[in-house]
Structures are given as structure tokens and as C-alpha cells.
Structure 1
Amino acid sequence: MSDLKPVSKAFLAVGLLFAGICWYLSFSLSAHIWWTLWVAPVPILYCSLRLTSKWTFLIAFTGYLIGRLSWVPYLQSILPLPLVFLFTLLLPLIFALQVMAARKLMLTYCHWSTVFVFPVWATTIEYIRFLTARDGTAGSIAYTQCDFLPVVQVASLTGIQGITFLVTFFPTAIAFIIYRYQRKQSIRTLSFVTIGVLVAVMVWGVVRLNQTSSATKSLQVGMVAIDKRAYHNENIKGEDRDLYLANLYLRQVGELVKQGAKIVMFPEKMFTVRANRRPGFIQQFIDTAITHRVCIIACVTQQKGDYYENRAWVIKEDGALLADYQKVHLFEGELLDSLKPGKEPGLFLRNGTTEGVAICKDMDFQQYISRYSRADCDVLYVPAWDFERDGWMHSRMAMMRCVEGGFGMVRNARQGRLTINDYCGRVLYEANSDKGTPVLLSGNIDIQHHATLYNKWGDWFGMLNAIAFLVSLVLLVKARRT
């Protein structure tokens, strides 16, 4: 296979452990370490070029499995045990098969351009999953880079598919450069391409992050999350409980208005509204909005006969109902609880600007949120409810839609993160309600829309990778027949 000495068992063991630990840290929902993903695959990809296909599969599967174990406690809290096993084992299996395909083509054709095989496969498989999975883009490795803002700006051109491509291209290039250098093969073109890609990405990111704001007006917003123990008050039950919860939230409006808030947003599923009591609850929110001269965004579970709807009311300062949005993308538990999804985005005009409201899991879907972008939405309001462990990650997933679409976002999550961010994904203000503690947050956000290439061309990069994937499949079949 090569004129190099066989890989020692010690080197293989150290490389495998290094890769597994780096993946574990990069996938962790609490560590938030972006750079480990850039180096984790290097020893696996390098060793694959010097090992048999069986050993390649074994080390690739094992190393990636170690990394995916960081999600097991979180998955156990939201999924049945069989699905935890399936999710934990399936991703390492897919990764190992991708490495084997890349190894075969790199060794067969020995051309520097085969360095693109692994990132093309990784990006295409993720893209297909985005289009077909119920969870949308959840689980993408691109979200591990949310703290690396220069790289995050790539999403404005390519969507998060570009980030996935980048973080798989770099380690592949490093491994291939080392391998070719040791075999005394030319690395000049490969090195130039690698450096060129990284420089172009970083320059674009820095330039976009330092753009002068074009905003002509800004908005002071306020958010509140009440103590989660209020939802478990044994002394108040039935319809009285809903009224009790509504009053707990509304009592905080005056305090936020004193801090300068012009819009007050509450989190997802504040309480349940029975059909016969809907007019009374809406009137209560209208009266509060008029009294304090503030726009209110309230998200409730609305009961209609034998099914439910997850709805967000947008009530203007004068009491007008600007939007009555129904959540479109539901997670599995909501479907089991007889919730029905909506169909249309929650766009509305407020004081001459186009704004929008979406709810929690809606933000996991690129194509759906692109409908807000194409309508030139200036700011998006997102009531949400996280699962404690995933508060940071889920808030950053939502921010990536802002980078893709070119708008700012205000997000309020029960048992998660309350955040205000700009169109670059920069966190302007943040508070933590992961443990269900009561929180008030107020801050200022610019009202502006930045057109993006991704907004204009859509999933062009994902489609380009899909075409390259098909070409590589043809070459792979040809290589196996040779």
C-alpha cells in the first residue's frame, strides 16, 4: 500500500484516544470548545491512509463513538433508550463509511484534489439529513463553531453546510499533506489550496463582522422567565392555575417598561388557554399593553376540542392583535400530546418595519426560516422552551439562522437561554434560566436587514456538494472494479 513503515500500535492508540477526546469536547453541550473539531479527525484520517480498510473502519468508528458519548446523558433525558442507542451508534457508523470512501479514492487516484472527497461526503450526508429528518438541522457539527464568529459568517454565503465543509476539509488536508510529504510527493498545490481557503474564509468573516451598521433605528426589548416552581404549585389547579401563571408574567411588564422596554416577550407555553377563555385572556394582555404602552408577545398552548395549538400572540401598544402565529415545526413529544402544526410564517408589520415571530423548534429548519429572510424581516422574536442541558446549543442554533438570513433575534426560553443577538450571530445580551430560576433581561437591538447570498441563492452549496458526491460515487465504483 505504501513504502512507509507500518503504523505502530502505540501511535494508533494515542491517535485514537486523542481523536475521541477532542470529539468529546467539541460535541459537549457544556464545554463549547470549537477548535477541537478542527484537529480531532487528523490522526484518524492520516492512519486510514496507512491501514487496511478493516482497521480504518474500526478506528474511525471507535474514535467517533467516544466523541458521541458526550451526548448520551442529554439524549437519555429526551428519548427512549432504544433511540439513544440508535442515535449514538448510527453517526459513528456513517462517519466510518465516509472515511473508508475517502481513503479508497485518495489512495487509488493519488491526486491532491481527492482531499475534497471526505468534506463533500460529510456535507452531502448532513444536507440530505436536513431535508428529510424531522429534527431539521439539529445535530449538525457546524453548530460546534458558534463561538468562532469569523467562521460562522460563512453561513451567510453557504448556509451551515459551508461550515461543515470547512471543519472537515481542514483536518483532511492536514492529514493528506503529512502523508504525501512522507512519501516525497508534491504538496505545493495542496498546501496553497488549503491556505487559500482558510485565508479567504477568515478575511470574509472579519470584514463582515466589522461592517458599519446601516440601522436607522433601534429597539429596547425586555424578557421575563418566571420560577419553574410556579408550574408545580399544588395549591392552584385547573383554570385558576392558568390565570395564576398569566398574572405572574404580567406583573413583570411594568418593571421591564421602567427599564425602557418597548416590547416585552414571554417564553413558550406560558400556560394553557381553553377555547371558552381565550377572549378573556387576550383581553387581559391587551389591557396590559395599553396600560403600559408596550408591545407584548405571549406564547400559549391553545386548546381546541380534542387537540391543541402552540400559538404566539403579538399585541401592539394600542391593543391591536398584529399576529396570532401557530408553531409550524413540532417535536415528537408535541405530536404525541395532540398538538397540530401551523403552515405559514408569522410575519407582521410594526411601525413600518417587517418583523416576525417563530417558536422554538421552527428555528432548526433552514428552508422554513428562509421565508422570513426573503420577506426582508428586520428582527425575529422567538419564544422557546429548552431542555436545561441544551440551552446554550439550542440558542446558538437559532442564531445561525440569523447569520444565514441577515436579521437580529430576540429569544426567550424557559429552562434555557434568554438572548438578544445581531445579524452576525454576536450575543449582545444573555441571561440563563437553565435551572428554571426567575430571570429578567432587557437590552437594545438594531432594526435592520442585511441581504445575504444564502438568502438569495438558497442551498446552492449543498446542491453543489451533492453533485460532487455523485461524481465521487462513480469514481468509487470504478476504483473498486480496478
Structure 2
Amino acid sequence: MKYFNQKWLLLFVGGLFLGFTGMNWNIPIFAWISLIPFLRYVRLGYSIRTLLMALIIIQTASTMRIISEPFHIWIAIFSGVQAGIVFTILLWIWNQVRIKFSKQISPTLGFAFLFTIVEWIGAYCSKLGVWGMLANSQINNLILIQSASLFGATGISFLIYLVNGSLEQSLSEFITHSKISKPSQYALISCFLLLVGLSFYGSVRLTLPIEGNSIKVGTVTSKMEIQTIWEDSIQNQKNTDLIFARTKQAADEGAKVVVWNEGAILIQRKEEDSFLKKIATLAKEKEIEIVAAYIVPLKEHEFFLENQLHWIGKDGSTRQVYFKQFIPPGEPISHNPSEIRVIATEWGKMSAAICYDFDSLQLTKTHSELGTGVTFIPASDWKGINPFHTEMAALRGIENGTSIVRSARGAISGVYDAYGRVKGTLDYYEENDGVLVVSVPTVAVKTLYSKLGNWVVGLGYLYLGFGSLFVFVLKNKN
């Protein structure tokens, strides 16, 4: 047991677990134990400054897993510093509360709620969106992530934090006293029952059919990078012709709605009207809806773009013009405010977003509130986040009860139903024709999360609020 008291071993093991939690090379089981070494470290009173430096290095190294063009190392460093500081502060706060007010605020519950609330704030307010959510580590556990329909990804993260806190509390008690207290035993049993109950719920849910209409949808992608079509007009024209040819192919294969990848075509402003007329003509000719995502250069000699989609109906009319709203740090595109809309079609209610938009809980909440049954997402990723980013979008679909159709350059294009089940995928890095056509349900599935939102976070605010009130009363008495 003496090994559990050695600070460098705790930091090393914690770094190993945390370094392979989430994103690519994710080992899902590590999430359930990744924070135990750090909780043990601060419990033993080791240096907070050393912890800060270690967490910055760990988080930076972890983010390096998704480094490939166009994602540069400075973004990994920025993310690592930010995450390291936040984690260190939260661990320090937890330890102070544990030492001074453990009778008023349960160390285990306090830890789980504190981290979940901060994670939720980041998903709503920060430019990193949902990328910092611990629930992402469980994306491939289809049975467990069905519980996102009950309390969202924040609820899954809360459960992971609760398990980490309960295991660390029990471990520390056993090391110190050679036994585990009754409250800690109850906490472990509760975690076990929660996991069993949610797994049972997920298993049953996946046996239920999604009733209502289904239609064939198509995703169209090109292997030409944005930088290439921006620099070379000949390649740009080839790319444009290719996208139109593949759109016709998808229509011939039965697709009723065809979705291009983000920035599929680069078009000059003076040519935009004739370009849109060409899309409208194709939509009428093939009797399909086209979610045409393209970019327009805004500066003559500078790589700065307007990133948008035009949803053209099968009658050739423009159903929606939408600009990307949630812009990643450093992306060279303009910000044009756009209204999120749900389009009523003959097959059901549908909506559209562009790539990173679906990493913001604020924006995805709006899609859900408007009652969409399918969300079309033109996207553009890179090798370092393939297929993780597409799978993250499927988790948003489970939360809100909507099917997801994501057409991605530089990653897997995927079509998922409202249970997150894969209806079809197309890998950008494999030899294929760049066209995916599959059937997907168009009716929204009602979820508790779509009605109540992140209610676990609300419980956390109440719990910590009342706990703080008790602490305040106690301090006044003293």
C-alpha cells in the first residue's frame, strides 16, 4: 500500500490514465479511474505547484494526440495550460472543502457536482465547447450513452466523477484505517446500482423501434483540401465539377436529401448567383433537397473566408441561408449571425448546422427545442480527430432524440439514428467514390433531456448551494 503514497508514482499513473481518456487512442475504462491518483495526491498534501506543472504537461501531451495539419502545436499548448490550471484549482478547492467542511458537504458528491458544473459551464460558454467533457470517453459504449437521453452527456460525466470520487475515498480509508466506512460502502453500492440500472435502460431502449418515416439521405465529399482549391483555380473547377457529379450520383442512388461537406466548393462572390442557380436547376431536375455548403473568399490575397450553406428545396427555392455560428479558435472565417431554423418538409422537420456548431450545447439545445427530427451537418475535420468528432455529434443526437447526417472532409462521414446507431459511414481515408446513401428515420424521439435539459447540473447547484449555506451558518456560529 505504500506505493499509493508516493507522489511521483501518483502523478505518473494519473498522467497515463488521463492521457488516454477521450479523443483518439481513447481507452474508455481509464476514465473511471483517471482522477483517483490526483485526488490521492492532494489528499496527502503534496505540492499544488508541482501538481499544476504536471497537469499542464499531461493535458498538453494528451492533446498532442490530435495534432495533424491544420491543427498546430500551439493550440495543444493553449488547451493544456487552460485545462491544467482549471483542474488544479478544482482539486485544491475540493481538498479544502474535504478538510474543513466534510460534515456539511460530502467529499464524494461535492467532487462530482463541482467538476460536472465546471464542465457544463465550459460546454456552454467556452470556445472549446463539449471537447472537455469526460462523457466523450464513453462514446463507443452505445448501451451506456443511451442514458444521455435522460440527463445528457453532463449526467454521464457526473457518474464517472462519482465513481472516481467513491473509489478514491474508499481506497484512502482502507489504506489509513484498514477498513471502509459505511457511507463509503453505500457510495460504492450506489455507483454499482446506477451503472447496472443505466445499462439495463440502454439495453431495453436499443430494442425499441423508431416509429415514423425514414428517407434515403446522401453525403457527398471531395478529397481536395480548402487550401488547394483556394490557391489553384484549375483544381477548384475540377473540384466543383466533381461535387456536382457526385450529387447527381447520390440522387440516382435514391437520396432525397444530399448534404455536401463543409466548404465543399470555393466560389467567387461575382459568380455566386449563377452558382446558386445551377444548384437550383439540379435540385429541380433530380427532385432532391441539396444542403450546399461552400466558401467565399473575402480578401484578395489573404486566406479569410465566408463559411455558409444554402439549403435548396427540390422545387429550386432557397429554404435556408446559414452561416457557421460557433467558430473554433483561430479559424479564418467571418462571423455572420444566423438564425437556427427547422424546415418542415414532406418527410418531417429537419435542420442544418455547420461542423463545430454541434460542439456548442447552446446551439444544439435550440435545434432540439424547435423539434427537429434530422440535423444535417456539413463538416471539415482532419486526421487527428477522425472519427472522434463525427461520433461526438451522434451523442448530441441521443441527447435530443434526433438523427444525425454528417458529411465530412478529412474524416468519416456518418449517418446515425436518434439512438446513435450507425446507419452508414464513409471513410475519407479509404478508396471510395465519396458518396454515401442510406436510410435514416426522420421523426424526433422524445427524451427527458430535451424537456428538462441538464437537470443533473441543477441538482449540483442546489446541493452545493445548500452545503455552502450550512458552512456559512457554521462559521457564523463559531
The normalised TM-score by structure 1 is: 0.86
Q: What amino acid is aligned across from residue 82 of structure 2 in structure 1? A: L
Q: Aligned pair 1:309/2:302, yes or no?
A: no
CA positional deviation for 1:277 = 2.0
**Would you say 1:262 and 2:259 are equivalent positions?**
no
Structure 2 Cα separation of the partners of residues 398 and 235 of structure 1: 31
SS at match of 1:149: coil
* CA distance in structure 2 between the aligned counterparts of 1:322 and 1:43, rounded to whole angstroms: 53
Distance in 1 (CA, whole Å) between partners of 2:52 and 2:323 is 43
Instruction: Find the counterpart in structure 2 of residue 147 from structure 1.
Output: 140
1:67 & 1:233 partners in 2: Cα distance?
35
CA contact under 8 A between 2:213 and 2:347: conserved in structure 1?
A: no
Which runs of structure 2 are paired with 1:242-261 in the superposition (5 Å)? 242-261=236-255
Which of 222, 226, 231 aligns to 1:226? It is 222
Q: In structure 2, what is the Cα distance between the partners aligned to 1:248 and 1:143?
A: 35
Change over 3 Å in CA distance of 1:479–1:36 after alignment to 2: farther
SS state of the match for residue 174, structure 1? helix
Superposed CA offset, 1:274-315 (max 9, x none)? 333222111211222233333222101246799853221222
SS at match of 2:390: helix
Q: Which residue of 2 aligns with 1:330?
A: 327
Specify the code of the residue in structure 2 equivalent to 1:102.
Answer: W
Q: Percent of aligned pairs with the same residue?
A: 20
Q: Which piece of structure 1 moves more, 323-332 or 301-310?
A: 301-310
Residue 374 (structure 2) pairs with residue 379 (structure 1) = yes
The one-letter amino acid of 1:463's match is: G
Note the residue ranges of structure 2 that are not aligned, 5 or more in a row. Answer: none
The residue that corresponds to 2:346 in the other structure is: 351
The 1:61/1:127 distance shift into structure 2, 3 A limit, reads farther
Q: Distance in 1 between matches of 2:283 and 2:405?
A: 19
Which one is further off, 468-477 or 14-23? 468-477
Do residues 40 (structure 1) and 34 (structure 2) align? yes
| Aligned mate of 2:315, from 309, 314, 318 | 318
Residue pair 1:325, 1:346 contacting (<8 A) in 2 also: no
SS in structure 2 at match of 1:441: strand
Structure 2 CA distance for partners of 1:180 and 1:475, relative to 1, 3 Å: farther
Give the alignment's Cα RMSD to 1 decimal: 3.3
Q: CA deviation at 1:161?
A: 1.3
- How far residue 437 of structure 1 moved from its aligned partner, in angstroms, is 8.0
2:126 matched to 1:133? yes
205-214 or 383-392, which moves further after superposition?
205-214
Query: Which residue matches 1:454?
Result: 449
Contact 1:108–1:479 (CA<8 Å) still a contact in 2? Answer: no
Displacement, 1:369? 1.7
Equivalent positions of 1:59-458 (< 5 A) are 59=51, 62=54, 65-66=57-58, 68-72=60-64, 74=66, 84-109=76-101, 113-182=106-175, 183=177, 184=179, 185-186=181-182, 187-214=184-211, 216-228=212-224, 232=228, 237=233, 242-302=236-296, 309-334=306-331, 336-337=332-333, 339-433=334-428, 439-458=434-453
String of CA shifts for 1:331-390, please: whole Å, max 9, x gaps. 3334x44x1322311421211511111111110111222222122111111001113211
CA contact (8 A) 1:57 1:97 kept: no
Q: Deviations over 1:59-109 (max 9, x none)?
A: 586367425412136468557766543421231232233223323333445
Contact 1:222 1:441 in 2 (8 A): yes
Q: Is the 8 A contact 1:48 1:99 kept in 2?
A: yes
SS in 2 for 1:26: coil
Which SS does the other structure have where 2:291 is aligned? strand
Which of 15, 21, 30 aligns to 1:26? It is 21
Aligned AA (2:115): A
1:120, distance to aligned residue in structure 2 (A): 1.2
Q: Cα offset for 1:11?
A: 5.0
Is the Cα contact below 8 Å between 2:24 and 2:65 reproduced in 1?
Answer: no
Q: Is the CA contact (8 Å cut-off) linking 2:324 and 2:357 kept in structure 1?
A: yes
Give me the whole-angstrom Cα distance separating, in 2, the residues matched to 1:425 and 1:124: 25
Give the aligned length.
469
- Partner amino acid, structure 1, of 2:451: K
